[in-house]
Structure 1
């Protein structure tokens, strides 16, 4: 596909739907749980747009969206974090779409930005996640091919310096600890927020479904941090699964048996 056959457009209020639908696998279009995750993503996108005026770029083939790159400024570090780059359909792979999207972003981020006091950001930073489809080029390899460097102190991070000689050193992350609440005892509490990825809500819902299968009739409370910020603040963490006032550390995706064992152990504790 020659470059002139597709175009790159910044996301605005008018094409938020195109951005979000690119995240939806065809088999999930009629899945109400997944589509709820899409609605939460729309909320997140609108918020980022309102705050920063930019959130993503979409590649179009004619009028059809075929890929996107999504990002958010991190003002205290003076960087731009790339949250995702994605070209979902196999027929569009290895056509230069991802390269064009990233190149477009790099060119724009070399210009002064109000977010950073009228200066360009120091770097683009990303945390590529595994999970590519068969025959799909891994995101990590793609970013490295495009000149991204390994962050020495954190092997999961890559960065592209926009200032000559700049080396990205991530700030130390303070671990947030769950603050047990009396009203969380004897029940499941799901803490969540609108997210840049609809799979976040989808996997939370799947986790709850597994818990309900193992413990029929268990009470479940969902707390949306944007709607109930005081409840999130009380608990000291912004997202997670809490069972009987204990934070669950394992993940369903990493292993169903391990996840359910931790859940059941938490419920058995007095």
Structure 2
């Protein structure tokens, strides 16, 4: 089976589920988000956001493929590019950190460890950039946990926030506590050994990916509010 990870660009944005391509939960403030939704321009706003971040900051995500079929993705950027984060009670994100907005693994590849691989890739990218001390994320303590290998559950209606359980599994610690939306942090220096282990980890964990035998819902049918 052919497996690879690609940088998120306008060329492969179409490989992200439709619901996530049209969701601007993180990318726009509430007023602009509603305005784009009412005008039917959410997808174009998402494309404009990706284009802007690529030009001004660089790669802001990864898409995972198995046999050239999309299997999952992750999205991250400095908090200044993600104004949706300002609405959280544990905001703002620390000045020395990049914000992990969301990640997902498609249902048919859940339980394969792909979620951890995506997170390792984010860390490797940020370590190479330099000047970044940590990755932070807002967790949801009420989201359904994924019991195996650190994979985030498939994004469904209204779940644009990663489960706190998943973040703990991939190395995050609570940085600012909250009963529902704690802000969590992964220090890059604590994950620095990943730089030497990422390549072998990607090969080992991606090599273990196998499609589930049970039928899985088509990710493209998710609600327009599902994920970002």
Please classify the TM superposition score into its range, dividing by the shorter chain length: 0.5 to 0.7
- Which residue does 2:15 correspond to in 1? 18
Equivalent position to 2:74, from 39, 49, 69:
69
Give the superposition deviation at 1:68. 0.6
Distance between the aligned counterparts of 2:43 and 2:54, measured in 1?
16
Q: Kindly report which structure 2 residues correspond to 1:173-212, keeping only aligned pairs within 5 A, or say none.
A: 199=225
8 A contact 2:8–2:63 mirrored in 1: yes
Question: Quick check: which has more Rg, 1 or 2?
Answer: 1
Unaligned runs of 5+ in 1: 26-31, 114-118, 165-196, 201-270
Distance 1:34 1:8, change over 3 A: farther
- Which residue does 2:188 correspond to in 1? 162
8 A contact 1:34–1:199 mirrored in 2: no
Distance between the aligned counterparts of 1:100 and 1:162, measured in 2?
16
* TM-score in terms of structure 1 length: 0.48
Give the superposition deviation at 1:20. 5.7
Counterpart secondary structure, 1:13? coil
Q: Does 1:146 align with 2:170?
A: yes
Give the superposition deviation at 1:36. 4.0
Q: Does 1:107 align with 2:133?
A: no
Task: Tell me how many residue pairs correspond in the alignment.
Answer: 152
Counterpart secondary structure, 1:9? strand
Q: Does 1:127 align with 2:138?
A: yes
Distance between the aligned counterparts of 2:176 and 2:58, measured in 1?
32
Distance between the aligned counterparts of 2:44 and 2:21, measured in 1?
11
Unaligned runs of 5+ in 2: 23-36, 81-93, 154-161, 191-222
* TM-score in terms of structure 2 length: 0.55
CA RMSD of aligned residues (A): 3.5
